[in-house]
Structure formats: C-alpha cells, structure tokens
C-alpha cells in the first residue's frame, strides 16, 4: 500500500510533471519551478504566458483606443522659451447629440459642437473669410456667420458681444466677438457650426446642410498660433477660441500678469 508521502513525492530531476489543472491558473509560477521541468521548458512556459498577456493588452487597446504621443528623436529638446502646445478647450456637446448640458433633451439633433468658454472669452475666426451675417435669434442669441468658400460657412452662437459687421473681411484668428450664454443656453459656451450651403443658409435640421466641424480641423493641434503660416486651400479650421491652461490664454502667464500690474500702477499714479 502506498503511503500519503508517496503520492506527494517530488519527481526526480529530469522527469516531466503532468499537471492536473490549467498551468496558467493562479500560482502557476510556483508549480513550474518545482524540479521536473528543465530550464528550456520553464522559459517556453514564460514566453507563452507573456504572449497571452500581450494579446489581452492589444485587444483592450483595440476596444478602448489609445492616444500616445510619438517619442521625440534622440537628443531633441524643446528650445528654452518656445511655446509648449496647449490642448484646446473641451467639447462639451458633440455634433449630432440629442441631449444638451445636464442631459436636457433637444428638439433637434445638435447641428454643431459646444466648446467650453467662459463669458467674455475672445471668439476667433476659424479661417480667413467674410462676415455674411450678424444679429440675434431666440435660440442662437447673438451670432456671427462667416463665409470661407462658396459652400462652406462657420457659425458662432450665444455670444455676449459681436465685434464685426456684415461685409467685413476677417483673417484667421482675428477676434470677431466674445463668448457668452445669450439665447437658449444653460451655461457659458460657444456653439460652433459648419454649414455647407451658400452664405450659411442652413436650417434647424441637422440634414439641412450642417456638417461636423471636427472633420475640418487643421491636422495636428488645431489651436490657432499667430506665427504659423496656414494654407488657404483647402479650407481647414483652427479653434474658434484661444487654447488655454490654468493661467489663461496661450502665452506666458507671467508676462501677462506683469503687464496687468504695470497698467494698474500707471492708472493709480
């Protein structure tokens, strides 16, 4: 009769183990390190486990997506004093959404995008163009419409101030007003839209000529940079509000604060 110790005996070196369960179940590392597996076999099991883990990671990335900035070439550094690209303000309501801020249902699908913008933030022309219409409507509030091509216009809604007049030519990045929450708005933001009809004559329905503005951004970072040379054709858009960080609009926050202090000092003198 075999004793319990016989059943638990560890095989001699060189003998194969015959696992009775999944070798990759929890604790498999401890089991495979017992005498009975050669170094080559142990290495092979580790490689199999690594490949399985890698496949899981690839599947997760395919499902969730991943945005990774490519590594800079060896030795490349951002020059001292150079402007570090800032992310554009977030889009808080997408093109085609059926709900607005706070989940409030819409009567129609959203015909543009809503960009977070505090009251009084400069609103910038998204490309070179001509002001075709300004005014006020119950839903849009104070608005500006720019024409950039025969069948491409951009619209800017819920402004607190309008800074241009109809017929004026504007350049990309030029201020055309200030953001606000006039009209049918529950929070400060800029409604930005692209109309693919002449002179921006789109209706209230999303199918009446509206297109997704995010399809027209300048490749890369869409933030407007004054020193950048932009092509005029095909029409590509830059962000209609300044890209900001916690210090305010793009630029050196310290310099801006120093300028404000200097003006305050002159005013108080």
- The 10s digit of each residue's pLDDT in 55-66 is 776 665 555 444
Q: CA 157 to CA 143: how far, in whole Å? A: 5
Dihedral angle of Cα 188, 193, 198, 202, to the nearest 10 degrees: -80
Lookup: tokens for 231:
């092509």
Q: Look up tokens 């040379």; give the residue.
A: 229
- Average pLDDT in the 110-130 region? 96
> For residue 55, what are the β-bridge partners?
none
Is 90 exceeded by the pLDDT of residue 98? Answer: no
Torsion, Cα 117 120 122 126, to 10 degrees, reads 50
173 CB contacts (<8 Å, ≥6 apart)? Answer: 124, 125, 224, 226, 238
pLDDT at 30 over 50: yes
Residue 28 predicted with pLDDT over 80: no
The two structure tokens encoding residue 51: 């490949």
């Amino acid at each position: 009769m075999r004793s319990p110790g016989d059943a638990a005996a560890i095989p001699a070196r060189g003998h194969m183990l015959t696992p009775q369960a999944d070798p990759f179940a929890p604790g498999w590392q401890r089991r495979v390190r017992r005498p009975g597996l050669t170094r080559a076999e142990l290495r092979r099991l580790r490689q199999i486990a690594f490949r399985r883990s890698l496949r899981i990671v690839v599947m997760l990335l395919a499902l969730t997506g991943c945005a990774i900035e490519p590594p800079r070439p060896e030795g490349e550094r951002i020059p001292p004093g150079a402007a570090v690209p800032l992310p554009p303000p977030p889009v808080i309501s997408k093109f085609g959404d059926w709900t607005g801020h706070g989940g409030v249902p819409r009567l129609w699908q959203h015909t543009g995008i809503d960009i977070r913008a505090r009251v009084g933030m400069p609103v910038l022309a998204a490309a070179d163009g001509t002001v075709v219409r300004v005014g006020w409507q119950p839903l849009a509030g104070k608005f500006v419409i720019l024409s950039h091509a025969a069948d491409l216009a951009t619209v800017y809604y819920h402004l607190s101030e309008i800074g241009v007049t109809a017929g004026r030519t504007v350049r990309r990045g030029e201020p055309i007003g200030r953001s606000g929450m006039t009209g049918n708005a529950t929070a400060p933001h800029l409604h930005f839209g692209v109309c693919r009809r002449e002179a921006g004559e789109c209706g209230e329905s999303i199918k009446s000529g509206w297109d997704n503005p995010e399809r027209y951004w300048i490749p890369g970072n869409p933030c407007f940079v004054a020193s950048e040379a932009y092509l005029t054709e095909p029409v590509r858009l830059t962000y209609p509000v300044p890209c900001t960080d916690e210090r305010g609009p793009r630029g050196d926050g310290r310099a801006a604060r120093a300028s404000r202090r200097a003006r305050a000092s002159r005013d108080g003198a």
